[in-house]
Structure formats: structure tokens, C-alpha cells
Amino acid sequence: MLIGVDVDRFQCPSGSGKSTLLSIAGALLQPSSGEVLVNGTNIGEMKETDLSSFRLTDIGFILQTANLIPYLNVLDQLLLVRRMKGKVTSKDVEFAKTLLNDLGLSQKLTKFPNELSGGERQRVAIARAFVNNSNIILADEPTASLDSNRAFEVVKQIRKEVKDRNKAAVMVTHDERMLEFCDKVYRMADGVLTLQA
């Protein structure tokens, strides 16, 4: 399921709470009150070492910019994340290649970030978010740095990966055109989420 959180750029260009929402959902920040439940587990009660492991295995992040490591090729961008989880097996390498192939990057495995277009870099970031088979994908304005055509392509690919792999995703965006690809849409203003009818 892909959930869209629409942040009105004119009513609340900043300070609406989107970054805080994603940081709390991604176990990067502790909530000041209340509970954050993920698959029935209150992550607010987890120890820091457990939170690190949780972030690595249960959450995949897609940011506004791809944030690729300049000296790693496309395949190694994904394998580095796998390596953080433990030893990389041949099965891990095949899964990474499958992800990249599904995102149209099978011919780019040995390319470096400076040899890729903006859309290609963002697709690598999508694959990286899925490489640890995370249950939840958090996307923070993943189309912000892309032109319209590439933006639509990226959101369609996020949706396809979420559906094909039976995952959940939350995407925060200012671009209302991207919301048509979401199963549910919430609007955020001044830290308050409301379900759009």
C-alpha cells in the first residue's frame, strides 16, 4: 500500500511537520508523547542498538536527492547496504541485480553516479531502499529534484515495487499530481494529518 502525505506548499512551505513525521516513523527521532507502533511493536520503547537494527532491516528510506556514494558503482550502492546487515551472499547479489533490472537499470550496474541521469540516480535510491527487503518504505519528496516526466516515472516505479513486493510505503510530497498513484492520501498542515476523502 502506498500512502501519500500531501503538504500544501503555499499554506505551509516549511514547518508543517513532514520531516518530523518521517523521522519518528523511521525511528530516527523519539516522539515527545504517544506511541509509534510498527507491526505491533512500540518502537519508542526500543533500545538504541535495537533501533539501529530496526532501521537497517525494517525501514527503507528514499530521500529528495538520491544521496549515492560517488565512488561506488550502481550495484555496489546496493551491496553496501546488504554488507551493513552482514556477509553478502551470491543470493544477495542476485536479488540486488533483480531489483535494478526491475527498475530498468540492468545496463547500468557498473556505472558511477556521475554517469547517470537524475532519474536513474533516483531509481538506484529506490532499489537501495528495497534491497534489505524492508517492510516499510519512507519517501521524502522523492520527485523534488526531477522534471515532470521523470517524476511520474519514479512514483510509478515506487508504487510497482511496493505492490509487487507486498510492502507499505509513505510518500510525502508537495506535488499533488503524484497523489493519483497512492492508495490513501492524507493532508498535513501544522503537524496535523487529515485523511482526504
Q: What is the Cα–Cα distance from 59 to 53, expressed in whole angstroms? A: 10
Number of domains composing the chain: 1
Q: How far apart are CA 63 and CA 91, in angstroms?
A: 27
Beta carbons of 155 and 171 less than 8 angstroms apart: yes
Check pLDDT > 50 for residue 11.
no
Asked if the model's pLDDT at residue 124 lies above 90, the reply is: yes
Query: Stretch 57-78: mean pLDDT, rounded?
Result: 92
**What tens digit of pLDDT does each residue of 148-180 get?**
887 888 888 888 888 988 988 888 888 888 888
Query: With 70 as the cut, is the pLDDT of residue 4 above it?
Result: no
Please count the other Cβ atoms lying within 10 Å of the Cβ belonging to residue 55.
17
Boundaries of domain holding 114: 2-195
| Confidence band for 192, pLDDT divided at 50, 70 and 90 | confident
Output 157 or 69, whichever has higher pLDDT. 69
Q: Which residue bears the cell 476523502?
A: 197
Question: Residue 93 has what pLDDT?
Answer: 96
Q: Which of the four pLDDT bands, split at 50, 70 and 90, describes residue 144? A: confident
The CATH code of the domain that includes 117 is 3.40.50.300
Query: CA 57 to CA 35: how far, in whole Å?
Result: 20
Percent of the chain with pLDDT over 70: 91
Average pLDDT over residues 71-92: 94
The pLDDT of residue 12:
44
Question: What number of other Cβ atoms are within 10 A of residue 166's Cβ?
Answer: 8
